[in-house]
Amino acid sequence: MSDILDLSLAGARDAMANGQLTSLELTDAYIVAAERARDLNIYITETFDRAREGAKASDARRAKGKVGLVEGQPLAIKDLFCTEGVLTTAASHILDGFTPTYESTVTANLWRNGAVMLGKTNMDEFAMGSSNMTSYYGGVRNPWKTGNRDLVPGGSSGGSASAVSGYAAIAATGTDTGGSIRQPASFCGIVGIKPTYGRCSRWGTVAFASSLDQAGPMTRTVRDAAIMLRAMAGHDPKDATSDERAIPDFEAALTGDIRGMKIGIPREYQLDGLPEEISKLWAQGRQWLTDAGAECVDVSLPHTKYALPTYYIVAPAEASSNLARYDGVRFGLRVEGDSLDEMYAKTRAAGFGDEVQRRVLIGAYVLSAGYYDAYYIKAQKVRALIARDFDEVFGKVDAILTPTAPNAAFGMGEQMDDPIKMFLNDVFTVPASLAGIPGMSVPAGLSAEGLPLGLQILGKSFDEETVLRVGGVLEQAAGFTAKPSWLEG
């Protein structure tokens, strides 16, 4: 691996600022690395020519003294963000050939801040999944392996996670509806933060469940996540749920000082049957934070066990509504039929994969006459209780520490026979999504099999700074330097 690839995004920023490195050199190094990583199936669309042009333009801007927050940084973009003139698929057959005539706000913010696009990353179809196996373009391989067993990178932002972990991009964008940034970050040994709902504009991002969807960065370090988040976030009048608050300098929050902070340890997250290595890592995290001068206190989030079933009503309901737009008329795939209705039904049957069909059907069911109150309204009420649990706990603590996922990465093709078992991957990430609060996964250790495991830090709404600060301390204490086995092979 070349020395250039060893640089973090912050390190590359400093090297470019000092004139020791150009964006073109950095971008070329990542293009070579991405080409070498092709068998991981990370990118649905590669835009290497565009990346080289972008890098040259960035170097020219820098020569004139114009330097954005992520100037010259070669990024991987999840294929859920619409990119003007570049195929955008959401990893679905139904978006065949869709080439947006507009740019998502998040990616536009990144380009305005100088970033360069390497390509669009693979993902679970419409971000529905926790393994990346539901992609129309095939599963992504995790750069981490056990022996010869190929593992999933997690999902839905699996391509982005593998890209960052496997050095096929310096950083990436992801989106998180129920854990789709944090769980793959944990599986791939990288950092991923889902900011507060409303921090990043949803405009131009293919919608899954609009009251839950949030974009966020996936990076190799906490500092890189802070830099990326600042470049992605910001108020956008085109998204009515986008927040007006000014975006802080998140990097400045990384003081390393958490003395006197109170960290909640929610007892309900100690699930029956939680693998001992996960419990031990969690206890270790608690010890690290205590050693750094924080006080860890036992807290209760009593409705935790209802978060997953609540999510699996709310998210499919919103998805069934959002995905109604895929009708064979306006974009993507069309399968002809004798009537308009038949054309719709044939197009959607051919265009949506099994998991997407299941969720659209569940959503249609829980919203249908006679079931709406019993399922959808009931779930919205329980969601209110879950959010209230967090409000009460955050009256007493500054942040919450939990495991990110109940297991390490599993084999490709495993867990596919039982949808509910797959849902359990998100048991620790879904509650924060329902409440809209920020959460970050930081690589904290290795499983007995030598696979990365993450710890999750949750914070108050719009207090990503505390999440990042605590995450920085965890990162420092964990000293996670292990590299994926794929890089050696």
> Pick from 161, 166, 219: which is nearest to 488 by CA?
166
Q: Is the dihedral of CA 268, 373, 178, 432 positive or negative?
A: negative
The residues pairing with 75 across neighbouring beta strands, listed in sequence order, are 117, 171
Beta strands in 308-466 (DSSP E): 399-403, 439-446, 452-459
The 10 Å CB-count burial string (b at 16+, else e) for 202-220 is bbbbbbbbbbbbbbbbbbb
Nearer to another protein, 52 or 93 (CB): 93
Contacts of 14 (CB under 8 A, 6+ apart): none
Residue 180 a catalytic site member: yes
Total site size for another protein, rule CB under 8 A:
70
Please identify, among the stretches 134-142, 167-175, 282-290, 312-320, the one whose residues bind another protein according to the rule CB under 8 A: 312-320
> Pick from 255, 250, 158, 321: which is nearest to 472 by CA?
255
Nearer to another protein, 241 or 485 (CB): 241
Nearer to another protein, 23 or 88 (CB): 88
CB of 337 to another protein, least distance (A): 7
Backbone φ and ψ for 474, nearest 5 degrees, come out as -60, -45
> Pick from 285, 259, 210, 222: which is nearest to 471 by CA?
222
> DSSP string covering 122-151, please?
--SGGG--SSSTT-TT-PPPPS--BTTB-B
Q: For residues 87 and 109, what is the distance between their CA atoms, to the nearest angstrom? A: 19
If one asks whether residue 182 binds another protein (CB under 8 A), the answer comes out as: no
Q: For residues 481 and 435, what is the distance between their CA atoms, to the nearest angstrom? A: 33
If one asks whether residue 317 binds another protein (CB under 8 A), the answer comes out as: no
Binding mask 319-358 for another protein (x = CB under 8 A): -x---x--xxxxxxxx-xxxxxxxxxxx-xx--x----xx
Residue with tokens 């927050």: 69
Single residue of 112, 149, 381, 396 touching another protein by CB under 8 A: 381
Residue 156 a catalytic site member: yes
Q: For residues 433 and 428, what is the distance between their CA atoms, to the nearest angstrom? A: 10
CB of 180 to another protein, least distance (A): 17
CB of 47 to another protein, least distance (A): 19
Q: Which of 130, 180, 433, 441 is catalytic?
A: 180
Q: For residues 186 and 163, what is the distance between their CA atoms, to the nearest angstrom? A: 14
* Residue 337 in tokens: 């039929």
> Which residues inside 396-435 make contact with another protein, applying CB under 8 A?
419-420, 435
If one asks whether residue 313 binds another protein (CB under 8 A), the answer comes out as: yes
> Pick from 330, 402, 313, 413: which is nearest to 364 by CA?
313
Binding mask 95-134 for another protein (x = CB under 8 A): --xxxxxx--------------------------------
Nearer to another protein, 295 or 414 (CB): 414
> Which residues inside 207-246 make contact with another protein, applying CB under 8 A?
211, 237, 240-241, 243
Q: Which of 23, 92, 156, 186 is catalytic?
A: 156
CB of 474 to another protein, least distance (A): 26
Nearer to another protein, 51 or 362 (CB): 362
Alpha-carbon dihedral angle through residues 83, 162, 314, 324, given to the nearest 10 degrees: 40
Binding mask 434-473 for another protein (x = CB under 8 A): -xx------------------------x------------
CB of 262 to another protein, least distance (A): 23
CB of 32 to another protein, least distance (A): 33
Preceding amide of 156 cis, omega within 30: yes
> Which residues inside 244-303 make contact with another protein, applying CB under 8 A?
303
Beta strands 452-459 and 399-403, pairing class: antiparallel
Can you give the C-alpha Rg of the chain in angstroms? 21
Nearer to another protein, 259 or 330 (CB): 330
If one asks whether residue 385 binds another protein (CB under 8 A), the answer comes out as: yes
Q: For residues 170 and 116, what is the distance between their CA atoms, to the nearest angstrom? A: 10
CB of 182 to another protein, least distance (A): 18
Please identify, among the stretches 36-44, 111-119, 376-384, 401-409, the one whose residues bind another protein according to the rule CB under 8 A: 376-384
If one asks whether residue 11 binds another protein (CB under 8 A), the answer comes out as: no
Q: Is the dihedral of CA 61, 63, 64, 69 positive or negative?
A: positive
CB of 266 to another protein, least distance (A): 18
Count, in order, helices (H) and strands (E) of the chain: 16, 11
Nearer to another protein, 72 or 353 (CB): 353
Indicate which residues carry an active-site annotation. 78, 156, 180
The residues binding another protein (CB under 8 A) are 97-102, 196-198, 211, 237, 240-241, 243, 303, 306, 309-310, 312-313, 320, 324, 327-334, 336-346, 348-349, 352, 357-358, 360-365, 368, 374-375, 377-385, 387, 419-420, 435-436, 461
